Amino acid sequence: MKKILVLGAAGQIARQFSQRLLAETDMELVLYGRNISTRLAALKGDRVSLVDGTFQNQKALMQALQGVDLVYLNAMSDAQATQTIINAMKQVGVTH
């Protein structure tokens, strides 16, 4: 079973994406974002884990990336945050 990290999981498109993955695949999801454990508490379950963090927090990103096969990031306008995400992925060895 694949595991995907959904960054910015509380956003409208990411929520739709996550719900579709849950309905149409057997993937495990790691939902990541600010106050996710509160904002998306109803989604937590056997296939869904919630991680509170920001895109600038490389340590939290690296923890969320543990055991992940691929990462979903809808859009970023902050080049520094995008680079932090890429750096965390490289450190952990996630290439997709």
Q: What confidence tens digit (pLDDT) does each residue in 22-37 have?
A: 999 999 999 999 999 9
What the block records as the tokens of 90 is 């490289």
Give the predicted TM-score (pTM) of the model: 0.93
Please give the pLDDT value at position 52: 96
- pLDDT beyond 80 at 76: no
- Calpha distance 9→40 (Å, rounded): 8
3-state helix, strand, coil in the chain (%, to 5): 45, 20, 35
Give the per-residue pLDDT at 2.
Answer: 95
Domains in the chain: ranges and CATH: 3-92 (3.40.50.720)
**How much is the mean pLDDT over the chain?**
94
Rg, the chain, Cα only: 12
Decide: 38 and 63 in contact? Cβ < 8 Å.
no
